[in-house]
Amino acid sequence: MSVSENITKFLNNEIPSNVKLIAVSKTKPVETILEAYQSGHRVYGENKVQELVTKYEQLPKDIEWHMIGHMQSNKVKYIAPFVSLIHGVDTFKLLKVINKEGRKNNRKLDCLLQFHIAKEETKFGLDMDEAIEFLKSDVFKNLEHVNICGVMGMATFTENEATIRAEFKELVHIFNELKKTFFSDNEDFKEISMGMSNDYKIAIEEGATMVRIGSILFGARNY
């Protein structure tokens, strides 16, 4: 089956219409993304700034690009002019830089706060206490060029469904608490980005509004 057919089939059979599919095209060449594009799908995710910029330059401009990976502050400037959503905001230093680059580009940049929900130390993300402290601050209130649209998280890489489910439940809990305390009058704060090829079914059951899927659509990656 072609990549384009994979996407169509996946959208028709696996994803409720209220969940957004981010097709994760990292490591795949532009030819493959063009093939995927034939399906009509327009939302793609990358995890490296340089690769994202190169693909943005070479591919049709109606693609909505999502930055899903860990990002260094000094690279925000390269994607600020065109990126649709930055999923992995895991420090407030990064958020301040995103704000600065948003101002330079005269746009408000949509972001998700990434939370550390997995048992693995290697994964990135904020914890609730640091998030609350920052969201209460005047510094945060003055960031006029970022728009916080919700939260993102990655579950532990494990076969244990109960672990994954508990971690996704924790992210939903974090979302609900932040919504209630800081974002009750921000309609845009509504996204929960969770679920990848191995755990998207659980993520959708637990309330994901966005899933980030690579290998199911594009095949395994060779790094």
Ligand X SMILES: *Cc1c(COP(=O)(O)O)cnc(C)c1O
Interface residue list for ligand X (CB under 6 A): 24, 26, 47, 68-69, 196-198, 212-215
How many other C-beta atoms lie within 10 A of the C-beta of residue 148? 21
Nearer to ligand X, 198 or 209 (CB): 198
- Least Å distance, CB 198 to ligand X, is 6
- Least Å distance, CB 7 to ligand X, is 13
Nearer to ligand X, 73 or 198 (CB): 198
Nearer to ligand X, 197 or 209 (CB): 197
3-state secondary structure the chain: CCHHHHHHHHHHHHCCCCCEEEEECCCCCHHHHHHHHCCCCCEEEECCHHHHHHHHHHCCCCCEEEECCCCCHHHHHHHCCCCCEEEEECCHHHHHHHHHHHHHCCCCEEEEEEECCCCCCCCCCECHHHHHHHHHCHHHHCCCCEEEEEEEECCCCCCCHHHHHHHHHHHHHHHHHHHHHHCCCCCCCCEEECCCCCCHHHHHHHCCCEEEECHHHHCCCCC
- Least Å distance, CB 21 to ligand X, is 11
- Least Å distance, CB 70 to ligand X, is 8
Nearer to ligand X, 22 or 95 (CB): 22
Nearer to ligand X, 126 or 196 (CB): 196
- Least Å distance, CB 137 to ligand X, is 27
Nearer to ligand X, 24 or 151 (CB): 24
Residue with the closest Cβ to ligand X? Answer: 214
- Least Å distance, CB 94 to ligand X, is 15
Give the residue from 128, 149, 132, 141 showing the smallest Cα distance to 192. 149
